[in-house]
A and B are shown apart, each in its own frame.
Chain A
Amino acid sequence: MSSTPGLDVLHWRIMRNVDHPEAALGPNREIREAARCVQCGKCSSGCPVAFESVHTPRQVMRFLQWGWAQEAATSPFVWLCAECQACTVRCPRGIDVAETMLALRRLARRKSWVRPDHFHEALEAMISKKGRVEELRLGVMAALSKWPRHPLEDLLLFVKMLRRGRLK
C-alpha cells in the first residue's frame, strides 16, 4: 500500500479524534459521537437512499473521523437523507446517525458552506410565518422544479385532489 500516501496520517487523525474528540470535532455532541463509529456499515446497508448517493452514511462518518467536517457537511448524502431512522436503531455503537446528518445540515447552514434548496427555504418560511405547512404550494413548487417534469401526470393529480376536496 505504499502507493497510498497519507493513510498513516489519516490513521493518526482517527486515533487523535477518538482520544480527544472535542478538540478535533468541535463542541457539537452529535458530531463528536462519530469518533465512536467502528465502520461496520450497518447504517449503509439498511439505508433506503444510499443507492442514489455518491456517499453512504458510513463514508460520511469516516469523513468526520478524519476531521473533514466540511467534506462531511457538504456531502450530497446529508441533504438526501430521508430521516427514516433505520441507521439509528441499527447502529451497534448506539450512535444516532440520522441525528448526526441533521447536525451536519445545521453546521453547514451555520458556516454557510451550502445554500439550502428551495424546498427547505419555502418550508422554513411557512413554518415561521404561518405556523402551518401549505402542501399545495410545496406540491406546485416541486412539480415545476423537478426534472424530468411530468406536467400531464401532475395536472391530473391536481384535478383529482381538487375534486376530492383534499386541497383546501
Chain B
Amino acid sequence: MKYLFYPGCSLKGTARDYEESLLAVAPLLGLELEELQGWRCCGSSAARSKDLNWAYSLSARTIATARERGMDLLMACPACYANHLRALKAEQSGDESTDLDSAGPGPRVKHLLEVLAFDVGPDEIRRRTVRPLPGIRAVPYYGCLVTRPFPLGGVESRENPKAMEAIVEATGAVALSFPPKGDCCGGALLFSHEAVALKLTASILEQAKDLSADCLVVVCPLCHFMLDAKQRAAEREVRRRFGLPVLYLTQWLGLAMDVDLRKLGIHRLVTSPAPLLHKRGAREPLLSVESLLGTLRLRLRGATSRIGRQ
C-alpha cells in the first residue's frame, strides 16, 4: 500500500516523535509512505475564520498534486485531514464551480487511523505483534476531528468509534471503555483561552485516571500536546496528580512490535513513560533524567510498601 504522506506543521515541530514513530512503524506494517514535496500549511482553523476561498485554495494544491500522481493522501494530523477532506468535498459537490469531468475522480484523503484500522486491519497488526502488552490498561482517546464531522472511512460511528479499541486489543492490551473518547481536549483554544483549554484537558485526564489507566493512546498532535506536555498545568488546575503517560498510536504499535525506543521517540515525551515501561517488563534503557527519577520513585514505592507489609 503506497500513500502520499502529508506531514503538516506539527509533525515537523512539536510532534516530531509522531513522525519518527510513524516512519519507524510503517514499513513493518507494509505501508509505503512518500513524503509530499513542498507541502504547505492546510490553513488550520485561522484560514477558515477569515476567508473560505482562501482556506480551500490552500488545500487545493495538495489535492491537485495527489490527483496528478494518482495516489491517495495520508495525513497523521486530524486537523489537516478534516480541512483537506472538506476542501475535496466542496470541490466535488461543485461549490467552487469546478467541472467534475475535467477534474476527474479525486484522490482519497485518509487519516492514519483509518489506514491502520481498515486498510491494514487488526488481524495484520496481531500477526505483526512480536511483543504483546498483556495487562496494560490503555485508554484510546480520539478527540474531535478524527471522527467528526466526517465519519472515519465513511462507515465508522461519529459518536462512539471503535477503530482504535480494535487496534489496541490486537496488541494484547486491555482497551478500556472510555466515555469521553470523542470529547474536546481544548487544544484549539490553547493559544487564545488557555484556562478554558486546561479545564477540558484536566477533565479528560481525571476520567482516565479514575479508570486506573496506565496510559492514553492518541492520534492527534494537538491532543498529545495538551495531554502530555500540558499535563503539569492541568494538574495545577485541578490540584490532582495524574502522571499518566500519553502515547501516539504509532508509538504504541512500535512498543508491541519491539521497535527501538529511541526510534519511536519515546524519550521525547514530557510526562515520563517510566511507569508504563516498567509494567511492560524488562529493564528500560536510560531515556532521560526524568524517566530515571520516575523509575527510582516506582522502585522506592515498591520497597516502602514491602516494608509496610512486613
Q: Which of B215-271 contact A (CB under 8 A)?
A: 229-230, 232-233, 236, 267-270
Q: Does A38 contact B (CB under 8 A)?
A: no
Closest chain B residue to A125 by CB distance?
B46
B48-56, B128-136, B169-177 - the one binding chain A: B48-56
Q: Known contacts being A161-B229, A161-B270, is A83 close to B14, with CB within 8 Å? A: no
Q: Does B149 contact A (CB under 8 A)?
A: yes
Bin the interface of chain A by size: 35 or more
Q: Does B279 contact A (CB under 8 A)?
A: no
Q: Which of A128-144 contact B (CB under 8 A)?
A: 130-136, 138-139, 141-142
Q: Known contacts being A86-B148, A105-B49, A127-B47, is A49 close to B13, with CB within 8 Å? A: no
Bin the interface of chain B by size: 35 or more
| Binary CB contact string for chain B from 265 to 306 against chain A (1 if under 8 A, 0 otherwise) | 001111000000000000000001000000000000000000
Q: Which of A97-155 contact B (CB under 8 A)?
A: 98, 102, 105-106, 109, 116-117, 119-120, 123-124, 126-127, 130-136, 138-139, 141-142, 146, 150, 153
CB of A106 within 8 A of CB of B50, answer yes
Task: Specify which of A79, A90, A132 is in contact with B41 (CB 8 Å cutoff).
Answer: A132
- Within the complex, the shortest CB–CB distance from B278 to chain A, in Å, comes to 20
Between A and B, how many residue pairs show CB distances below 8 Å? Answer: 141
CB of B189 within 8 A of CB of A49, answer yes
CB of A48 within 8 A of CB of B49, answer no
CA distance in complex: A150, B44 (Å): 26
CA distance in complex: A153, B149 (Å): 35
| B interface residues, Cβ below 8 angstroms from A | 9-10, 12-17, 40-41, 43-52, 58, 144-145, 148-149, 158-159, 182-184, 186-196, 199-200, 229-230, 232-233, 236, 267-270, 288
The 7 closest A-B pairs by CB, nearest first: A84-B184, A85-B148, A123-B46, A84-B144, A131-B40, A133-B9, A48-B184
| A interface residues, Cβ below 8 angstroms from B | 48-49, 52, 79-80, 82-86, 88-90, 96, 98, 102, 105-106, 109, 116-117, 119-120, 123-124, 126-127, 130-136, 138-139, 141-142, 146, 150, 153, 156-157, 160-161, 163-168
